[in-house]
Structure 1
Amino acid sequence: MRAVQACGSSAVLSIGAAIISDIYVSTERGHAYGLFYLAYWLGPFIGPMCGGYLTEYFGWRWMFWFLAIYGGIIFLIILFFLPETSRKVSSSTGAYSTIRFNPIAPLKLLRYPNVTLVIIYVSIISSIIHLQYISVPRNFSQRYNLSSSTIGLLFIAPATGCAFGSLLGGKYSDFVLRKKKAENADFSYPEMRIYSAWSGAILAPSSYLAYGWLLENNSNLIVLMILWFLGSLGTLVVFNSMSTYLVDAYTTRSASATALNNCFRFMVAGTVAILEPLMENALGTGWMFTFIVSLGVISTFFVVVVYFKGKEWRENDDLKNMEQ
């Protein structure tokens, strides 16, 4: 049932990305995606805050009742406030389409090197958040003797970081794109947006590296929360810039690009969730974060390559398509 629920929620991301691509121009798209992903990223952090209190004071049974009621309310909202989803197209127009639905069509985008490299980078850098998320309950209950409800409150720090990172990252992404277009009035290309990711690409790994080693040494809780906030902020700056770049580069296939990005990102996150306890037991907290952060730093080279070569790759592929 959890897998079925995830299928529904993941569809929202792809469809939402396609809608934003359709109704916003490129210089406003970053801010629009910042608002869109704000709700998505806040969910995993608000959930533990609520779940911690429900579990500690009411028990697991009441938490699942809450989820059932919550899901039922959402279903009713969709049913009554999104009536356009049930409308049928009139057959009197005589219009028809020869395009067939192909569920694996998004995989074809992997033939483009810029898409593949960006997805690898985004998957690795965002997996750090999931690795940290999985490690929080055990570390803070054992090291600081915190209750479930108190541990839930700790997620205020990353939730705030994600909120600022998503909103500010989106605005900054659009600002950089407009500035680059102004400097190159004769031409513009999607890779210009990648420049806005550099600040987050530096902030996120450095914050998480310091967080890992300070947690290893049971450092001050406030310092850890500040680092968690900064790491989440930097990750969302990167995520927003690179995800919006994929849409800018393939506007007619924005839903497929977003779906492919999320597919691999969630696969990596799932793998991290399985391996986190094993890695932390084998390496220790500090070296575990050092390892995953090192992978993120190494994969930053992929973004550099896309920044300088992406335009050339896309143009060459367009020429091949024209020849065919």
Structure 2
Amino acid sequence: MEKYTDRYHPQFIPGTYSIYSSAVIRHQHHMAIKRYRYGVILQPQPTNSRNDPLNWSKRRKTLHSLILLLVTAFTAALSNDASAPTDSINAITGISYDLLNDSAGVLFVSIAVSTWLYSPFDYLLGRKSVILFGAIFAFFSSIWYALMNDGGDSYGSQVLTGFSFGCADAHVQLCFASIFFRHQLGAIITIYNLAYSLGTYLGPLCANFISFDRTFRWVGWSGAIASGVLILIVLFLFEENSFDYAKYSHRVDDLTLNLGFVQNGVISNEESDDALTQGYFDKPFSYLERYKPFRLPKDPQCRTLLGFVKHYFQLLLIPVRCIVFPPVIYAGCICGLQNAILTFYLTTEDTMLYSDPFNYSSAQVALMNIPCIIGSVIGCLYAGSMTDYFILWMARKNSGIVESEFRLYFAFLSGTVGAVGLLMFGFGISRNMDWRVFYIGLAFISYMFSSSTNLAMLYVMDTYRELTLEVLVCVAFINNIIGCIFTFACSPWLQSSGTENTYIALAVISLGVMHSSGGFIYFGKRWRKRTHAAYVRLAEIKADY
């Protein structure tokens, strides 16, 4: 097992791991039951401390997850509803449509930068602090949006909105990875992406209806009220899920050996501070320890201002060094492509559907998010829970060994369906076809949006488990920079090439990017092997925190 669990083993490859035990272990000692479940090796291995998030009760995990999903859906809605009531904004403030489009590009940059800047806080102040920061930024960005009068307000509110969503673009997934086992992540990230998709499509839907009934300012005030409620929920109901596993660093994975140590007096159960006792007698954390908004850094040197700043910038450099890993680049490009496509079809809706021959109202444009929601739900189910079962099936055929590229077999169908959807939408709009054509096209595009994002996230999380936050930060950075570039390129491209030619090009690009998964399926393990040394170095640096 060492070459699959010990990163220092010369044959260790990130993303290659053993998921099945040779048989279902039915040891009377409860330690065995924890480490093996139905023949599946639990990864990461839990301790026996009642404070270990992996050992939380179903009730605690469920409440924790619901709050994370609420944060994800709300911040996604907030970052997508700002540009929805463009008619109302233009009529009341005189801000041009081009400037509003440019402020959306600034939003992407803000999300990319904030996700990166937040990353050290997870280790220095605790993960709850980042979620709380996001909710607070959401509150102030909503107020600024409600009071918007000129272009500067538009840019400023979008910068703060980006900092609100930055907490959900990598840090929420890290929280999920802290309370669930690796073989459960497919289902959990599916639900995360479903919440993200619902926020993405329901946000503009609600914003359009609110601005139609009142003005865009009530979109901002509604967001501020919801943000205030979210801050209270996070403060009083969201637990800190970081855990000091360093106390258990000497624990070995051989169950019989651990039990033998205790039975033969090598380890005393009364020595509760000794890592090898497995935390049997750990006292439960107090209410304040579980729900405090900030956690003091473990290293006393970090508790001074100079030490805090020094370690903050050291941690800030780890994601920068992860950005060259091939799986990270792949996942970032996949997610960035989806953001770019989102920008294109939203821009097409805004520029073409309000005028002849469609003459849609704001409510009718808002309702176009319904097929998007349907497509996203199907896409999430396809690329999440189904891939978990597929991995278990593949592992049985591969002597219990999982390669992280197993999930990428699902990318081919996603890319094909998405390309068809782009053609249906582009041709349906440009040729004024029956509304069912471009509605179904939107459902296909949204199917690709959710399924491909799901696959990309799970791929990097499976590959670099000990650097989950850092690689997801890199993915978010690449993703949002691509989204920003295409935001500024979108309108000129549509004007110069026309709607049909633009969507033909997007369909070809989607096919090419999604089908590049074949190269990773074939060469991915070799590329992952070359990142072993860098992975170990970065994991060592991070382990100190």
TM-score, reference length from structure 2? 0.55
Report what 2:226 is aligned to: 70
Residue 346 of structure 2 corresponds to residue 136 of structure 1: no
Cα separation, 2, equivalents of 1:67 and 1:150: 22
Deviation (angstroms), 1:24: 2.9
Cα separation, 2, equivalents of 1:286 and 1:257: 36
Q: Pairwise mapping of residues 22-61 of structure 1 onto structure 2 (< 5 A)?
A: 22-61=178-217
Deviation (angstroms), 1:133: 2.2
Q: Is the 8 A contact 1:197 1:242 kept in 2?
A: no
For residue 40 of structure 1, give the secondary structure of its aligned residue in structure 2: helix
Q: Which moved more, 1:36-45 or 1:135-144?
A: 135-144
Q: Is the 8 A contact 1:121 1:303 kept in 2?
A: no
Q: Is the 8 A contact 1:135 1:276 kept in 2?
A: no
Deviation (angstroms), 1:61: 2.8
Residue 386 of structure 2 corresponds to residue 172 of structure 1: yes
One-letter code of the match for 2:331? V
Q: Which moved more, 1:36-45 or 1:108-117?
A: 108-117
Report what 2:293 is aligned to: 86
Report what 1:3 is aligned to: 159
Q: Which moved more, 1:295-304 or 1:247-256?
A: 295-304
Residue 506 of structure 2 corresponds to residue 292 of structure 1: yes
One-letter code of the match for 2:389? F
Report what 2:398 is aligned to: 184
Cα separation, 2, equivalents of 1:155 and 1:279: 24
For residue 168 of structure 2, give the secondary structure of its aligned residue in structure 1: helix
Deviation (angstroms), 1:126: 4.1
Deviation (angstroms), 1:258: 1.3
Report what 2:525 is aligned to: 311
Q: Which moved more, 1:313-322 or 1:106-115?
A: 313-322
Aligned length: 323
Cα separation, 2, equivalents of 1:231 and 1:322: 38
Deviation (angstroms), 1:45: 0.9
One-letter code of the match for 2:218? W
Cα separation, 2, equivalents of 1:291 and 1:41: 25
Residue 369 of structure 2 corresponds to residue 158 of structure 1: no
Residue 478 of structure 2 corresponds to residue 260 of structure 1: no
Q: Pairwise mapping of residues 9-20 of structure 1 onto structure 2 (< 5 A)?
A: 9-20=165-176
Cα separation, 2, equivalents of 1:168 and 1:322: 33
Larger Rg: 2
Could you tell me which runs of 5 or more consecutive residues in structure 2 were left unpaired when the two chains were aligned. Answer: 1-156, 240-290, 538-545
Deviations 1:233-262 (A, max 9, x none): 123112111210010000111111111111
One-letter code of the match for 1:236? S
Cα separation, 2, equivalents of 1:136 and 1:185: 51
Provide the alpha-carbon RMSD of the alignment.
2.7
Report what 1:110 is aligned to: 323
Q: Give % identity.
A: 17
Cα separation, 2, equivalents of 1:319 and 1:59: 56
Q: Is the 8 A contact 1:126 1:239 kept in 2?
A: no
One-letter code of the match for 1:62? W
Could you tell me which runs of 5 or more consecutive residues in structure 1 were left unpaired when the two chains were aligned. Answer: none
Deviations 1:264-288 (A, max 9, x none): 2122222222222211111111111
Relative to structure 1, is the Cα distance of residues 257 and 47 closer, same or farther in structure 2, using a 3 angstrom cutoff? same
Deviation (angstroms), 1:208: 1.0
Relative to structure 1, is the Cα distance of residues 57 and 125 closer, same or farther in structure 2, using a 3 angstrom cutoff? closer
Cα separation, 1, equivalents of 2:473 and 2:372: 25
Q: Which is richer in helix? A: 1
Q: Is the 8 A contact 1:121 1:302 kept in 2?
A: no
Cα separation, 1, equivalents of 2:226 and 2:534: 51
Deviations 1:212-250 (A, max 9, x none): 112110111122111211221123112111210010000
Residue 520 of structure 2 corresponds to residue 302 of structure 1: no
Report what 1:100 is aligned to: 311
One-letter code of the match for 1:200? S
Deviation (angstroms), 1:186: 4.9
Pick aligned residue for 1:243 from 433, 457, 474: 457
Structure 1 stretches of 4+ with a deviation exceeding 6 A read 93-99, 320-323
Deviation (angstroms), 1:125: 4.0
Relative to structure 1, is the Cα distance of residues 36 and 305 closer, same or farther in structure 2, using a 3 angstrom cutoff? same
Pick aligned residue for 2:417 from 198, 203, 206: 203
For residue 190 of structure 2, give the secondary structure of its aligned residue in structure 1: helix
Relative to structure 1, is the Cα distance of residues 322 and 64 closer, same or farther in structure 2, using a 3 angstrom cutoff? closer
TM-score, reference length from structure 1? 0.90
One-letter code of the match for 1:105? I
Q: Is the 8 A contact 1:52 1:150 kept in 2?
A: no
Cα separation, 2, equivalents of 1:55 and 1:34: 32
Relative to structure 1, is the Cα distance of residues 211 and 87 closer, same or farther in structure 2, using a 3 angstrom cutoff? closer
One-letter code of the match for 1:239? T
Cα separation, 2, equivalents of 1:195 and 1:153: 33
Residue 119 of structure 2 corresponds to residue 119 of structure 1: no
Q: Is the 8 A contact 1:18 1:255 kept in 2?
A: yes
Relative to structure 1, is the Cα distance of residues 291 and 136 closer, same or farther in structure 2, using a 3 angstrom cutoff? same
For residue 12 of structure 1, give the secondary structure of its aligned residue in structure 2: coil
Residue 441 of structure 2 corresponds to residue 227 of structure 1: yes
